[in-house]
Structure 1
Amino acid sequence: MAGLAWACAAQAELQPLADSALGEFSGRGGVYLSGEFSINKDGGVLWSTPSSNLPSSWTAGQRSCATAGAATAQGCGMRLAVRAEEGGGWYVLDNIKGIFSFEGLTLRTRLVNGGFGGDGQGFNRDVLEFGLPDEVKFKDASFTFAVANQGGWRNRATSLANGGDPSYQQTNLFSAKVDGSIRMQGNVLVFPTP
């Protein structure tokens, strides 16, 4: 009897809806994302870790992200550089490492035709809306915020022949290490420009 019930349930299938019936339904599209990713947890792939923490002994393809004066070299994380204006300096997130996980990041389009102190009515276009996840978890995460005169990293202590650049300057403003969770709320809207 159980087998017969299973066979009857298996026969149920989705049927197409007529256009008139489909017109009675409305819905919203979007994407709901959850995930975990690791960024250069064991050091990045662009530079090899030198045997010493003395910059003058590094080759063009070596870099250490250990603190100045440390006895041993340390692998480096990812670098993200943004230039705010042509001819200006660079804002840098450097040595990004760690494990990050989140649940509930959403992505959808949203019509802005009101609000924003009356400006939304005149805008009357779709924007991208990123819904922030309720919680972001960090494990052994770290980064350094800096300003630099170039987007790419250079070794000031070596010669140009070894990939160095004596004119390279980077000022580290602060570094952070994060273990734990951050609770988030709200949305980020991305407005297209004509």
Structure 2
Amino acid sequence: MNAVSILAGVLAGLVASMAGAELRALPEDELQQVSGQAGISLSANLNFAVRASDTRCPGGCGARLAIQPAKGAGFLVLDNISGAFVFDGASLDIVGIDAAAGFAAESAATGSKAVRLGLVNGTFNNFKWTLAGSNQAVAGGAGFKQTDLLTYQTNGQTRMQGNLYLFATP
């Protein structure tokens, strides 16, 4: 037997065992014994490689992200994105705004909720991007015009961690 046959057999066994799994409602007394944590936690390794065939940049270009604001005539562009972004333990959660959550009790938002985006460990490796304004989403077409506003480049590693809170406004 080769490795592919063994792997196929193991996968078939797992699928068969999950097919017979029972889903049932939990009574209130059993449900109160269950503990866990609300929210989502993600980890990823994103690598943006330069395409040498893209000739609008000397030596090739990285990825391009174009966003058109509502009713806007142009595009806000993150262009020539290259490098790697690795993160462990990115979380998305909804938290109460009160002193127990680390907010001052005199906060105008006390008693309301906020979306918390957390990052336990994020790292940029040899990362580069350009912030620009453009008249077209796709670069290089007829009449294409782009104004580069800011270019950021790091050679080496940049580490990030912390929380970002998003509050609702009236």
Judge same fold: TM > 0.5, yes or no: yes
The alpha carbon displacement at 1:91 in A equals: 1.8
Tell me if the contact between 2:88 and 2:119 (Cα under 8 Å) persists in the aligned partners.
no
| Aligned counterpart for 1:28 among listed residues 37, 53, 60 | 37
1:42-191 to structure 2, matched below 5 A, reads: 42-43=50-51, 49=53, 63-67=54-58, 74-112=59-97, 118-121=107-110, 124-125=112-113, 127-138=114-125, 140-150=126-136, 152-155=137-140, 164-166=141-143, 168-191=144-167
**Alignment partner of 2:61: what SS?**
coil
CA distance in structure 2 between the partners assigned to 1:19 and 1:87 by the alignment: 52
* Structure 2 SS opposite 1:98: strand
Q: Determine the C-alpha separation between the residues in 1 that align with 2:62 and 2:50.
A: 8
CA shift, 1:191, in A, is 4.6
Distance 2:120 2:158 in 1: 10
Check 1:88–1:192 CA distance in 2 against 1; reply closer, same or farther (3 A cut). Answer: farther
Distance of 2:148 and 2:87 partners within structure 1: 28
Q: CA deviation at 1:92?
A: 1.0
C-alpha distance in 2 between matches for 1:102 and 1:188: 15
Q: Which shifted more, 25-34 or 94-103?
A: 25-34
Query: Does the Cα contact within 8 Å between 2:130 and 2:148 map onto a contact in 1?
Result: yes
Alpha-carbon distance, 1:143 to partner = 1.5
Letter in 2 for 1:120: A
Contact 1:91 1:145 survives alignment (8 Å): yes
Percent identity of paired positions between Structure 1 and Structure 2: 32
Residue 161 of structure 1 is matched in structure 2 by: none
- Contact (CA 8 Å) 1:148, 1:170: kept in 2 or not? yes
Question: Normalized per residue, which structure has more strand?
Answer: 2
Q: Point out where structure 2 has 5 or more consecutive residues left out of the alignment.
A: 1-25
If you compute each CA radius of gyration, which structure gives the higher value, 1 or 2? 1
Alignment root-mean-square deviation, CA:
3.3
Q: Give the number of aligned pairs.
A: 141
Unaligned 5+ segments in structure 1 are 1-16, 50-62, 68-73, 156-163
Tell me the TM-score normalised to structure 1 length: 0.56
1 CA distance for matches of 2:31 and 2:151? Answer: 55
**1:143 aligned partner, one-letter code:** W
User: Partners in 2 of 1:94 and 1:172 — Cα distance?
Assistant: 9
- TM-score, normalization: structure 2? 0.62
